[in-house]
Structure 1
């Protein structure tokens, strides 16, 4: 029964329109609807469930914590759960990577992390402008929307979105100009109209923008530009962090060290709301309470986050497995693209974030609809919704990945054949 959703829930609802099922249970890489049908999940809560649904290793820790009447809500008070998270995050994530960041708990979602990063950069530098990139997505609140590229999302703000300037992302101009030619020229020209930015914010892989993966060389060039011009570098790792591209942070492959990092989504490891903003130690110029929120300290998320770190990040196994699985997915998608060259333009991605770019944007949602009918959940992305987007849990078995690729192949073929009839 879905009548109640149409009658009472706002028209803003989205994912349910493409997946008209009422889900009841989930485990690992599978979700089950109330009619008993089970679906393979290549969506993973938009990258929130890197370790799968109801991961048993994390669920046990959560149940024990709640059963003990432990602290759930605490704003920014000191709690034992928060202390353990900070200690383990430093020991398992920061120190091995030589990172000396302070940790801010800005609120429960990725946009809270981004808003804190933008405010901090402006406060520290005394400047207002933030540079973002074409096809960027950083969240739906006003500050985050101002550095987001999608026109439909920006229009929804209802007010002017200022103090943001967009520059070309890696390969946006198909290699026709050198990297950062426009950006650096405008920075060096006092007549360009570009005020010196407080910061640059970037995704190393643009998820909502269409799985556009920046090269390590481009990211290093951006980091060097920011350093030479005294501009803070913010990496938005909300969707691509926590191992999505292989390493814990998506920027590790490029060998750069951002000034500020935004993390959320799979940080809790269990789908619980949790976000942090990491900042270079000297950037921590906040006054007490200057940036706050009611749900800054959701202690159950601290517990499951520690579980994820201890179970998956104390050795290189998770990173190695993700990269190996990513190669399997890439090979499968390349084969699909080759067999359907008239419908598929290209394949792109990193780790376990992949996109199948359709030549006709109208084909991508049709492929996802066909896949749903065959028992696979996927979404579209890109400025015209032209990309079939794959974000399977990192814990998905190779057998399930292969099964999902078979469904995608059948779905693409079905859509291609329907178009050519």
Structure 2
């Protein structure tokens, strides 16, 4: 299925001549096109020389509503009901159409490494070769050889350090190091020694994190809300803070959240009250209380659920926001954006096509603005320089905040939280999910020593 997009929409003479066709003719032609490959509303509308919104409303959506076509989950593509394309297969096909993936080097990489996560390294290295990480460095991957690889890496690192800061150990960040080392080992067939890796600033050592227990307290969240709700603050910052905290999406992924993948649900929460008036919602406690015949209380709440693709891992994740103070204004924004026929929750241009080659650069300006503004808020509620690493990467702090918040509230249920964030719990535990000392001390109270 990786080649499903290689078939282009045929340029029919009637379309180019602007000939008038009936609605039935146009819809039949849509079905014929989709037999060959899945398509987006924009690509189909362009083929028929129409604007996307009226085309979708008059021709595409009626086909969808009648069950003749379906939307590919996690994407903006439509296909026929019996076809089995997925957002991942479509994305892989799009990437493979890029010229760099047709080089001998990348073809060899496909053959030598078939691990599930290799596409992350390939994407990063492709962007590097194309000059998308820094315009001062470009190279054809086939020109990297066993004879010149060290000189290439030295130049590459020098140019990268002009646009990206070294990590706390003076090296390239872990993702770039992994991509470069992966290409050299899998394609150029270089065995990089420990000394060579350290000298070239691309060592294979991932240093132990200092922020795996980084979290934000309930009191700090309350103070942040107060600051963000002041009259002179744009309300969008309050919503960004809430979405980033509860969903812990990566900084750029915030702008890829699509309106069509958001829903608001009513949920009934059951609880029991203990002596101090504390509400216990643990399902096992409630089941036991029901068994004993104790009184069970309940209250309704409105929650937000959405699905988003994390491009770094090319994985769809389901996210939930349970705080009504965020959910209510978020639903208002959702309704406004939907009435405006906006595609994204926080990104205004519907025509933007995010690809592996451009999406970081497209949203970079907004991500930088987020980091600058939210840094002021977090410093105002008690955080300080150094809490988020040497370079105060505030945006990434929210990933830690959200994961720790969910872990604390679920009594460190790594399996449950991992379903919203990682393909394995090992990464979650090591880099984000270390227990806070307060929770650790709470846990050991029940430990009895002989």
TM range (shorter): under 0.3
Larger Rg: 2
Give the structure with the larger strand fraction.
1
Give the structure with the larger helix fraction.
2
Q: Name the structure, 1 or 2, with higher relative contact order (CA <8 Å, separation 6+).
A: 1
The two structures have a TM-score, normalised by structure 2, of: 0.24
